[in-house]
Chains A and B, each alone.
Chain A
Amino acid sequence: GAVVSQHPSRVICKSGTSVKIECRSLDFQATTMFWYRQFPKKSLMLMATSNEGSKATYEQGVEKDKFLINHASLTLSTLTVTSAHPEDSSFYICSAGHLNTGELFFGEGSRLTVL
């Protein structure tokens, strides 16, 4: 079946640094990818919609200068958390929409811990 891979699966960084998380569709093309954030013991909240070759669309309340999203190809979207702070610590999950079928596939998630 279709696979979406996220890297890194876990990352620990110091406050003030930037962290990049990759989301790759391994065996299919995805024009649209979605980034979610999951707080501990909470549900998933959509952060932004990433479209290949265009600017991402952010949900209300999500700082686009804080969470930079780039979707440079049909198989890769990246989320960069800039100037990370402890409150950015979370589980970030991406999903990718299959170009042909439209079906959504979720990545394994990336756990960010900011010290």
Chain B
Amino acid sequence: AQSVTQPDIHITVSEGASLELRCNYSYGATPYLFWYVQSPGQGLQLLLKYFSGDTLVQGIKGFEAEFKRSQSSFNLRKPSVHWSDAAEYFCAVGAGGTSYGKLTFGQGTILTVHP
């Protein structure tokens, strides 16, 4: 069975500082990996995804993530955080194929940004 672990429940950074959110997954084959962001009381917005190819993936809002198969990781990074980035971030893994929409989500990481 596939699983996703986000080790950090809550991270606080200062505006302008760099950010890295950790994500580790467990999956038997090549995973489809996603990062989503959720503002309070809202749905999910896709930041980026990895299916294959270049292991460094660029997303929206200046985010990027790197797929490292050897470490089973897909960490999310941003070089300079803005106050509007405060939200909850979810890493997810999917099987692809006909099960592409059946995602397993991590527990989420809440990001707080100090001015």
Residues of A within 8 A of B (CB): 4, 6, 32, 34, 42-46, 49, 93, 95, 97, 102, 104-109, 111
Contact = CB atoms under 8 A, between A and B. Distances in A.
Contacts of A6: 43
Given A43-B106, A44-B105, A106-B36, A97 B41 contact: no
B102 interface: yes
Interface in B93-115: 100-108
B51 to A, nearest CB: 10
B101 A49 contact: yes
A106 B45 CA distance: 7
A79 to B, nearest CB: 14
Contacts of B90: 43-44
Nearest to B102: A46
A44 B91 CA distance: 11
B17 interface: no
Contacts of A104: 46, 100-101, 103
A104 B94 CA distance: 11
B20 to A, nearest CB: 20
B41 A109 contact: yes
Contacts of B107: 42-43
30 contacts: A6-B43, A34-B101, A34-B102, A42-B107, A42-B108, A43-B90, A43-B105, A43-B107, A43-B108, A44-B44, A44-B105, A46-B104, A49-B101, A93-B43, A93-B44, A97-B101, A102-B100, A104-B100, A104-B101, A104-B103, A105-B46, A106-B36, A106-B43, A107-B43, A108-B42, A108-B43, A109-B41, A109-B42, A109-B43, A111-B41
Nearest to B44: A106
Nearest to B106: A43
B40 to A, nearest CB: 11
